[in-house]
A and B are shown apart, each in its own frame.
Chain A
């Protein structure tokens, strides 16, 4: 009886865990191929929160890099670009946030191997509520990187 109870509790736990993770869906993830001298790159993706609770991406990690940080690029009204480290990216309930060039991105610092187009980089995203979500992001060469976002804002 006791073991049945435990099994039930475990099943319930497993269910609720996977359920929590399901609220976050990551699509269109990609990592920028880098010039040979670069030891840093950036990862971009769309993060959708289908849950009814606000969530926040608080950290990320990848075996491809020594350190992984969340950064925000911006250009002020004088045309000065800057980048800053941020403590996370909020993803409100029902919303989709896009990590894209010129905006939020995940910085891969201290690349262990130079990234080449066609490879995949595994990134573990840690969310405040949803917990860990693992994404496999393809490395894109220069010609495949979209500039659409740039010509439209």
Chain B
């Protein structure tokens, strides 16, 4: 009887020690994976989509398998947050270095397809960097893409002479080589050097 108790007690002790180690190891691992990146971790599968680029060509997300992709939703009539964000992404191409600057893509998806036709995008997106791709489509196509990123946008009527303005999700998404969203950069995480650091880790 007493012997049985000792055995049970031993097992309980062993279990507790093992569980304790498990917690410690998990915390270490968790800490490591979470702290490794500057951007906010976000795991999201994106169904493939096809839109039209600034040259009028059809472009699919799956065309970029094998290289990381930065994707940003914006519109060309946006004079403040969109140009700042595209300048930051241009900064990332500088920070990442000569050897890696062609190993990833930047996609600017308009959420204002009514005004942003391919021609308008052509006079806007390449200004920031020749390698950047501007994408437009029908309002339905755009809506579907935005929904798969859980991105939000809304037309805001105003008495501004600039016409209507758009409210839109202003974060930049980083997709890995398999086309899966892995990181998200909100507007308070727009340091090109740190973003380039994240990019190098997934190249």
Interface residues of A, Cβ cutoff 8 Å to B: 32, 34-38, 40-42, 66-67, 69, 71, 73, 75, 78-85, 101-102, 105, 107, 109-110, 142, 145, 147, 150-151, 153
- In the assembled complex, the Cα of A85 lies from the Cα of B80 at a distance in Å of 13
Secondary structure type dominating chain A contacts: strand
Instruction: Give a binary string over B112-138; 1 marks a CB under 8 Å from any A CB, 0 the rest.
Output: 000000011111110110000000000
Determine the chain B residues whose CB is within 8 A of the CB of A35 once the complex forms. Answer: 76, 83, 123-125, 127-128
- In the assembled complex, the Cα of A114 lies from the Cα of B1 at a distance in Å of 93
Is B78 part of the contact surface with A, judged by Cβ < 8 Å?
A: yes
Is B167 part of the contact surface with A, judged by Cβ < 8 Å?
A: yes
Partner of A69, one of B120, B121, B160, B167: B160
Partner of B167, one of A80, A102, A147: A80
- In the assembled complex, the Cα of A32 lies from the Cα of B79 at a distance in Å of 9
User: Do residues A84 and B158 form an inter-chain contact, with CB atoms below 8 A?
Assistant: yes
User: Do residues A36 and B123 form an inter-chain contact, with CB atoms below 8 A?
Assistant: yes
Is B52 part of the contact surface with A, judged by Cβ < 8 Å?
A: no
User: Do residues B123 and A147 form an inter-chain contact, with CB atoms below 8 A?
Assistant: no
For the complex of A and B, 10 pairs with smallest distance between CB atoms: A37-B123, A35-B127, A81-B170, A82-B167, A67-B161, A150-B190, A151-B191, A35-B124, A42-B79, A73-B80
- In the assembled complex, the Cα of A19 lies from the Cα of B162 at a distance in Å of 36
**Closest chain B residue to A83, Cβ basis:** B165
Partner of A82, one of B88, B127, B156: B156
Between-chain CB contacts (< 8 Å), 28 pairs? A34-B83, A34-B127, A35-B123, A35-B124, A36-B124, A40-B162, A42-B80, A69-B160, A69-B162, A75-B187, A80-B170, A81-B81, A81-B167, A81-B169, A81-B170, A84-B156, A85-B159, A101-B81, A102-B81, A107-B160, A110-B161, A142-B83, A142-B87, A142-B90, A147-B84, A150-B190, A150-B191, A151-B194
